[in-house]
Structure 1
Amino acid sequence: MTNGIRHGLFTIPSGTGFLKRLAEGLLTMSQENQGDDFALTRMRVLLPTRRAGRELRDAFLGLSKGKPLLLPRLQPIGDVDAEEIELYLSGYGATGYDIPPAISSIERQFLLAPLIQKKDPSLGLDAALSLAGELARLIDTVHTEDLDFKGLQDIVPATLATHWQKTLEFLEIITTYWPMILADRGQIDPADRRNRLLKSLAQLWREHPPETPVIAAGSTGSIPSAGELLKTIAGLPQGMVILPGLDVELEAESWENITDTHPQATMRNLLERMNKTRADVRIWPEAAGRSSHRAELLRSVMRPADRFGVTDHASLTQGLKDLNIIETATPREEAAVIALAIRETLETPQQTACFITPDRMLARR
């Protein structure tokens, strides 16, 4: 670290308060630039969502104890502005990236619906619109994974060719006719445009590295184009990629055997894309020594099946500390117990409570 500048790959362990630790680190970096009152404002922080940006702003507000503070530029990683890229390039006398505008979701749905009705005239408009929404999601999924529809006819074995042929004929809507409509309108799909913008920004920064810090925090690079941008940022002179809860203590055997459904899988894939290993990832200084006592318990629960049971008993005992299980006879009784526990916590000074459940009916009770 020099003059408040950090560089490379970092992680903030789970259970340590990701956004608060991030805000503390950025404030520390800005304060280390003595005499530069605007060091914080020159930072660009790329976050996974707009909500994360709002919560990071609140974290800064909490650290400043309500005093006015000029914040960094907070931006969702997928919200790239084509005009900004053009403006950036103009400063280098370079040519721009000709990226067509994206078609709106509702406009796309209403354009796809008549194509569906032509394939099946028996469908009403409401059914056609519903199918159009599903086709639009399929289009976006393919673009998000940076794939295309080439070779679609070869997916299904020849033994199912007759049935699959009917599906292919229906999918001509998006493989043949839809690209023609977009080309005629001079538009592209939203996910396609996002991919092109992210790739353009990555190329731009590789060729013309920013002179100010760029921090990508909280993203795991699950979208290939975003992963490429993260790789670029990690290699910038003032670039930082801060991964959320990378398990740097999981033993090598388990790390190599985790499957694509494991929570750590996307970060492992991202590191492989970057040609990096966990040894290249440092703990964010403000999060050092703050590992949660539940970490080993969660690590044991999520360990691959063939590695289950390697955790020592003492670590599990510590992870189970203050963990209670209450069995109830009815959902109503369950809701009442939870409500009482939350009420007791909230009536205790300096205590907070959090209720997490996938059961919406339970949450309403």
Structure 2
Amino acid sequence: MTKRLHLYTIPPHRAFADALAQGLIRRFGGDPMRLARGILLVPTNRAKKAITDAFVRASGGGLLLPRLVAIGDPELDEAAGPFLDPADGEEPVPPAVAPLQRRLILARLVQAADPGCDSAEAVRLAGELGRTLDQMLVEQVDPRAMRDVATGELSEHWQRALDLFEIVLSQWPKELARLGRIDLAERRNRLLERVAAKWRDTPPDRFVCAAGITTSAPAIAALLRVVAELPGGMVVFPALDLSMDDEEWAMLGPFEAEMEGGRRKRALETHPQFHLKLLIDRMGAQRGEVQPWRVATELDAPPARSKAIASAMMPADLTRRWSELPAAERRLSGVRAIEVATPAEEAQAIALALREALETEGRTAALVTPDRALARRVAAHVARWGLHIDDTAGAPLASLPPGTLLLALAEAGAQGFAPLALLALLKHPLVAAGDGRLNWLEGARALDLALRGPRPAAGLAGIDAHLANPEGYDARIRATALDWWRTARPYLEPLEALYRADAAPLPSLLAQLRETATALCGDGLWGRADGRAAAALLDELEREAVHGPALVQPESLTAILRTLMEEVAVRP
């Protein structure tokens, strides 16, 4: 007998988090302990925070929240508690290999396969290999299937890519066995499969709600199917279009392979409903089984907005219908469009719109964009007006002051303290921060004036010789700069010695970089959130470096740090 599935959706014009929180309070809030004993599965930690805030707004007072679990949390079993990996259960799932440890091991394997590849490129390629492996594990595709890819008609670079991936197929499993660990994606799959089996056999004595999850990974789809079948289970999809006709729904895909030739029609993977359709298909459910989540909030947009958005997102083959749509299905009242010539104008226009909204009593505003460069430009514009934007995506460590300082240090050493790189380092806002900052800047500006003109010889000795030269019309400027240079030079001498040497172990390079940075900036460099993130990255990199390439050229350090810091998001 097929069990009834408890499937719901909140339309896009409703405030998802607030509608969800109010609906759960209405269902279970009569007994505070019943609500508190429930389990709420959400996609990410950011969603967890948003829904927590929505519960606070909806409660109007004290409230015991259900256990919120982000299924995208790297430490999923710790975040979920005993219901996901009970201490008295079966054999525990092996621990996952640390992402940075895996990357450095793969970088070492890349260099072993191609001795001509430098360390920075090996680290970059290791990241690409890791992401490809994760995608295959999430989709539960055996990586060994890559060996069956027909390469007869592929370009030579595709063949090289497949040859590189052979590292993952032949060497990486041996490394995992040696460490006694598994990939993080594989571990998450096993944990999700375990809890699905447990709940299928022994349904929990509390409500379980999975909300806002759109990833169509097979392990997650199987878990959501189990949740939907539970007596107290609910799956709440975000913005599933129930009004889309069957023809349009079928056009999204995915499609079966053709009987002749085995070709498969390409699915509309960029359509906003595609992954929801794929998730529902993998759950073994039908769109007709999904019911509306009938809760409205004061933060909702006009209902007509949902239909207009759906009409705008029609597949290309159906856009001929646009001219036949009634006005109610294409009305975008209150929506404005702008055409600008440059990204700078775009950011300025958005910043002005945000400021206008904030200056209107009772209004709030948000910028939703996948373009991180646009987000940074808008944040810089509104900062001029004393407004601080809470950027939920965070900023890459490489663009924040501690990150730019470390990169400036590495770049100055790599360029032999060329004037431009040297001055960028010495004028960095974190260098000599505090009471002595003004005197330091005066000396750095004097050095700037003295270094204009022909480039001095490489190294600190080249700067010394240039400043000590008594000849020329600017001899007095050089003499003034030389007095200050004698106080700044000792900070850089250990770094120069490091870059003069040949390849060295990565931990020694990082240790000297950290010590030089601390000498220039003091302990305050590591004090704020971005500084703590930089310190944590250097610490982990030093600890895990033993698994990576044995020796690293100092000139590669800048590129290695930039690659890794671009992937570290620091959130306010």
Which bracket does the TM-score occupy, shorter chain normalised?
A: 0.7 to 0.9
Q: CA deviation at 1:265?
A: 1.1
Distance 1:159 1:17, change over 3 A: closer
Could you tell me which residue of structure 1 aligns to residue 448 of structure 2?
none
Could you tell me which residue of structure 1 aligns to residue 314 of structure 2?
303
Structure 2 residue 287 is the aligned partner of structure 1 residue 278: yes
Q: CA deviation at 1:115?
A: 1.3
Within 5 Å, give how 1:41-80 maps onto structure 2.
41-65=36-60, 67-79=61-73, 80=76
Could you tell me which residue of structure 2 aligns to residue 81 of structure 1?
77
Distance 1:116 1:209, change over 3 A: same
Please say if residues 216 and 282 of structure 2, whose CA atoms lie closer than 8 Å, have aligned partners that are also in contact.
no
Structure 2 residue 39 is the aligned partner of structure 1 residue 39: no
Amino acid at match of 1:49: T
Please say if residues 84 and 195 of structure 2, whose CA atoms lie closer than 8 Å, have aligned partners that are also in contact.
no
Q: Quote the sequence identity (%).
A: 39
Q: CA deviation at 1:354?
A: 2.4
Distance 1:201 1:330, change over 3 A: closer
Could you tell me which residue of structure 2 aligns to residue 351 of structure 1?
363
Highest Rg: 1 or 2? Answer: 2
Q: CA deviation at 1:339?
A: 3.5
Q: Deviations for 1:114-168, whole angstroms, at most 9, x for unmatched residues?
A: 2111111122222222222221112111111111122323212435598766544
Q: Deviations for 1:288-312, whole angstroms, at most 9, x for unmatched residues?
A: 9976321122111111122224352
Could you tell me which residue of structure 1 aligns to residue 440 of structure 2?
none
Please say if residues 12 and 242 of structure 1, whose CA atoms lie closer than 8 Å, have aligned partners that are also in contact.
yes
Deviates more, 1:121-130 or 1:183-192: 121-130
Could you tell me which residue of structure 2 aligns to residue 293 of structure 1?
304
Please say if residues 102 and 188 of structure 1, whose CA atoms lie closer than 8 Å, have aligned partners that are also in contact.
yes
Structure 2 residue 142 is the aligned partner of structure 1 residue 148: yes
Deviates more, 1:305-314 or 1:253-262: 305-314
Distance in structure 1 (CA, Å) of the matches to 2:342 and 2:168 = 49
Q: Deviations for 1:158-182, whole angstroms, at most 9, x for unmatched residues?
A: 3559876654443221101110111
Deviates more, 1:239-248 or 1:323-332: 323-332
Distance 1:232 1:290, change over 3 A: farther
The gaps in structure 1 that reach 5 residues or longer are 1-5
The gaps in structure 2 that reach 5 residues or longer are 253-267, 382-572
Please say if residues 300 and 309 of structure 1, whose CA atoms lie closer than 8 Å, have aligned partners that are also in contact.
no
- DSSP-derived class of the 1:241 partner: strand
Q: CA deviation at 1:58?
A: 0.8
Size of the alignment, in residue pairs? 351
Could you tell me which residue of structure 2 aligns to residue 230 of structure 1?
224
Q: CA deviation at 1:356?
A: 3.5
Q: Deviations for 1:296-345, whole angstroms, at most 9, x for unmatched residues?
A: 2211111112222435231245x222223344566555544444433332
Please say if residues 7 and 234 of structure 2, whose CA atoms lie closer than 8 Å, have aligned partners that are also in contact.
yes
Distance 1:86 1:214, change over 3 A: closer
Deviates more, 1:140-149 or 1:351-360: 351-360
- DSSP-derived class of the 1:40 partner: helix
Distance 1:78 1:328, change over 3 A: closer
Please say if residues 28 and 34 of structure 2, whose CA atoms lie closer than 8 Å, have aligned partners that are also in contact.
yes
Please say if residues 38 and 70 of structure 1, whose CA atoms lie closer than 8 Å, have aligned partners that are also in contact.
yes
Q: Which has the higher contact order (CA 8 A, sep 6+)?
A: 1
Q: Deviations for 1:243-280, whole angstroms, at most 9, x for unmatched residues?
A: 00000011111111122321111111222223322221
Task: Calculate the TM-score normalised by the size of structure 2.
Answer: 0.57
Distance in structure 2 (CA, Å) of the matches to 1:287 and 1:273 = 30
Distance in structure 2 (CA, Å) of the matches to 1:272 and 1:174 = 31
Deviates more, 1:162-171 or 1:6-15: 162-171
Amino acid at match of 2:55: F
Structure 2 residue 339 is the aligned partner of structure 1 residue 314: no
RMSD value, Cα: 2.7
Distance 1:360 1:41, change over 3 A: closer
User: Which structure shows the bigger proportion of residues in helix conformation?
Assistant: 2
Distance 1:232 1:151, change over 3 A: same
Q: Deviations for 1:7-51, whole angstroms, at most 9, x for unmatched residues?
A: 71000101200000000011111234xxx3311111100000011
Distance in structure 2 (CA, Å) of the matches to 1:87 and 1:151 = 31
Please say if residues 41 and 73 of structure 1, whose CA atoms lie closer than 8 Å, have aligned partners that are also in contact.
yes
Distance in structure 2 (CA, Å) of the matches to 1:221 and 1:333 = 35
Please say if residues 32 and 64 of structure 2, whose CA atoms lie closer than 8 Å, have aligned partners that are also in contact.
no
Could you tell me which residue of structure 1 aligns to residue 22 of structure 2?
24
Distance in structure 1 (CA, Å) of the matches to 2:367 and 2:213 = 24
Distance in structure 1 (CA, Å) of the matches to 2:160 and 2:360 = 64
Distance in structure 1 (CA, Å) of the matches to 2:302 and 2:351 = 29
Please say if residues 11 and 281 of structure 1, whose CA atoms lie closer than 8 Å, have aligned partners that are also in contact.
yes
- DSSP-derived class of the 1:71 partner: coil
Could you tell me which residue of structure 2 aligns to residue 3 of structure 1?
none
Amino acid at match of 2:120: D
Structure 2 residue 274 is the aligned partner of structure 1 residue 265: yes
Distance 1:153 1:14, change over 3 A: same
Deviates more, 1:199-208 or 1:236-245: 199-208
